Amino acid sequence: MPTLGTPLAPELLQAGSVWQLTRSVNGYARAAGNGLATQAAAGRRFRVVDSPEQAHPGRLRIVLLEDGYPCWMALTEIVGQARSSAPWRPALLDEKAIVHRLPAVLSWIAAAAARPNVYLWGGTVGPDLDCSGLVQTAFASTGIWLPRDAYQQERFCMPVAVRPGDDSLLRPGDLLFFGTPQRCTHVGIHRGGGHYWHSSGQQHGRNGIGSDCIHPRDQHPVACHYRAELRGAGRVHRCHDGTSLP
């Protein structure tokens, strides 16, 4: 393995080696094509799954260590843009510490909403984000790591009862989950009083970060669409340890 701090070069990439990014890069869904799966901000660490000779030409299969998320990175985007690193070790905050940081999470989202942005599938770096990327990045800004995707975040949280028009058990910072009876496809974060922040797309959303409400008095088409798909809510009571999730 290369010495810690060594700049990334193709000949140093070995399966199992760990690197820390010095710039933000894209994580692609497949070995070819432009489809994003996620993004990785400067400072994040990744582990190489396949060495370059085993990988698709020009792409490297990796796992991001903070959330255990697998994706592909373009060699041209990471050569010279990462340094050899020790493995990432999670800071597993207790529930009290997490509650203390929730106002900062909500403040981060409010600031993100105030900047020009559009919805970006796979976006986690900003200003353009997808729904679960907004949630994950907001929590990560305070040192709380969550799983990457909305359905994973739903499974990770402690369930909280909610239904359209009834937010009595919700607290600011709880997550709201939307989708079909079979699967969670969208996530937002409760602001208070049934209002929530979320990043939604163009077809049924606001093409970026906005605020809607689960109460029937909010008759905006976006609020109505997601209220009809409300699945439940969850409370963040622990930090993700970086385990890869199905």
Q: Write out pLDDT tens, residues 187-228.
A: 999 999 999 999 999 999 999 999 999 999 999 999 999 999
Instruction: Please state the φ and ψ torsions of residue 99, each to the nearest 5 degrees.
Output: -55, -40
pLDDT at 54: 64
Rounded CA gap, 145 and 160, in Å? Answer: 20
| Average per-residue pLDDT for the chain | 95
pLDDT at 2: 83
Q: Is the pLDDT of residue 52 over 70?
A: no
Q: What percent of the chain clears pLDDT 90, i.e. is strictly above it?
A: 90
Rounded CA gap, 143 and 165, in Å? Answer: 32
Q: Is the pLDDT of residue 55 over 70?
A: no
Q: pLDDT grade, residue 11 (50/70/90)? A: confident
Q: What is the mean pLDDT of residues 72-90?
A: 94
| Helical (H) or strand (E) element with 185 | strand 184-192
Contacts of 215 (CB under 8 A, 6+ apart): 164, 165, 167, 194
Q: Is the pLDDT of residue 53 over 70?
A: no
Residue with token string 């942005």? 117
Q: Is the pLDDT of residue 71 over 70?
A: yes
Rounded CA gap, 9 and 19, in Å? Answer: 11
pLDDT at 138: 98
Q: pLDDT, tens digit, for every residue of 167-194?
A: 999 999 999 999 999 999 999 999 999 9
Rounded CA gap, 202 and 225, in Å? Answer: 12
